[in-house]
Amino acid sequence: MKVFAGNSNRHLAEAICKYLNVPLGNATVRRFADQEIFVEISENVRGEDIFIVQPTSFPANDHLMELLIMIDAMRRSSARRITAVLPYFGYARQDRKAGPRTPISAKLVANLITEAGADRVLTLDLHAGQIQGFFDIPTDTLIAMPILARDVKEHYDLANLMVVSPDVGGVVRARSLAKRLDCLLAIVDKRRDRPGESEVMNIIGDVAGKDCILVDDIVDSGGTLCNAAEALLKNGATSVTAYITHGVLSGGAVARIASSKLRELVITDSIQPTTSVQSAPNIRVITTAALLGEAINRTSLEQSVSGLFD
């Protein structure tokens, strides 16, 4: 088994290697003057079980191309098996035709990864479960919920806790956390007028006097979370904290969250935190290295990955 990484999130790749007690593979991923990507594998990988850790976060197209070229380089170097490890799968929000004459880009990206030569995919908290079916190769989707639940237990009094879904579409995810914590569930009913903006309409459930935990898979602009926090506090919530797997946090999201009424935003390191995220007073990052590392180890040993969540 050998683990390699592109430039997307080397810190996470190094943490995974530390968990596995293996060195990070020696590979050069650089750009020519015209920004073409060049990859050179600087060690023998013939007959090896290869894992490439590369979330396709911002800039998504560059990091996706790095992944595809690394897969191709491994295939041409006679690797025995290549697993693309995508802690964050970019383009996942384009999982259906949202209107006439629009693409299903998540399927296109799945095809690109397959055709590049990947034998397996290992990812974390896909935006929509059906994306697994877009791949024609074995795909394991890990869930960050056990990590999030453990952190909530360490920081909150469960007797006064309420889990909240920021929209109707996230109810299944919120119910899963509420079941793990054995607490009540509420839902924020919102109306989205245009992409990137949302208007909170009402709260389904009694949140008065409760410490509320908003849970979702992706935070991008942060508008939904900030609006939901205001609505919950207006309805009598004592505090509002958000637990999100993928901290995309594009544009002015960090500043928006820092000045919001959120007590704290907790995200994982599936996307490498920027300097602004690390310095934000109310954003905290927890690691997924042990979860991904154990999944990689079990995959290499041909053991059950789903057994991690039994």
Annotated binding site: 34-36, 93-94, 127, 167, 192, 216, 220-224
- Positive or negative CA dihedral for 271, 275, 278, 280? negative
Residue 261 appears among annotated catalytic residues? no
Q: Are 283 and 255 spatial neighbours (Cβ–Cβ below 8 Å)?
A: no
Percentage helix, strand, coil for the chain under 3-state DSSP, each rounded to 5:
35, 25, 35
How distant, in Å, are the alpha carbons of 184, 245, 268 from that of 144? Answer: 20, 7, 8
Q: Quick one: angle between helices 60-76 and 105-116, nearest 10?
A: 30
Q: Would you list which residues are annotated within the binding site for D-ribose 5-phosphate?
A: 192, 216, 220-224
Kindly state the tokens that stand for 294: 């154990």
**How many other CB atoms are there within 10 angstroms of residue 52's CB atom?**
26
Q: Would you list which residues are annotated within the binding site for Mg(2+)?
A: 127, 167
Cα distance between residue 116 and residue 50, in whole Å: 14
Q: Which helix (H) or strand (E) holds 69?
A: helix 60-76
Place of tokens 């050998």: 2
Instruction: Out of 190, 210, 234, 261, pick the active-site residue.
Output: 190
Q: Are 64 and 71 spatial neighbours (Cβ–Cβ below 8 Å)?
A: no
The residues assigned a catalytic role are: 190
